[in-house]
Chain A
């Protein structure tokens, strides 16, 4: 199975900060990677697919990059509604493994 490792597990930031979350795959997944945002008590929603493609309707302050085994999600200017938990997921294999999540907290 492919392992997906996110860092950091928790991130404290202020409104307006630039935030970067990293996701590493244990083997190459090309660009078959998605990022999701989940708020407490809600279903996740997709932000980014194919490593860097912005899902329709998602604000442009979110961006993704990377290929192979290393990927990043960047929020260019953190907004109050962005405090949430973020997950990466590979979809190269049937296991469709998720990262363990990164919680973005208010500093």
Chain B
């Protein structure tokens, strides 16, 4: 069965620290990969997505993610976090035959202290 694993449940950083959130997926075919973010009191919103081409994708607010096919990974990075990045981050995958059925990881809570 398809699955997504996010390694860190809760990450605590100081402002200006670098961020890397791990995401591994299990899926037998071609996949499309997403990172969503949920800021406190707000809707889930898309940070970035990867379908094909350059495996390094850039998203909103300075986030980027790298797709490494051999490792089944799609880690999220940001060189310098801000207090406003405090949120819950979800990695998700869709198979090409799966329509809109996003399979989500359990999420990582990021707390940034100023």
The answer on A and B forming one complex is no
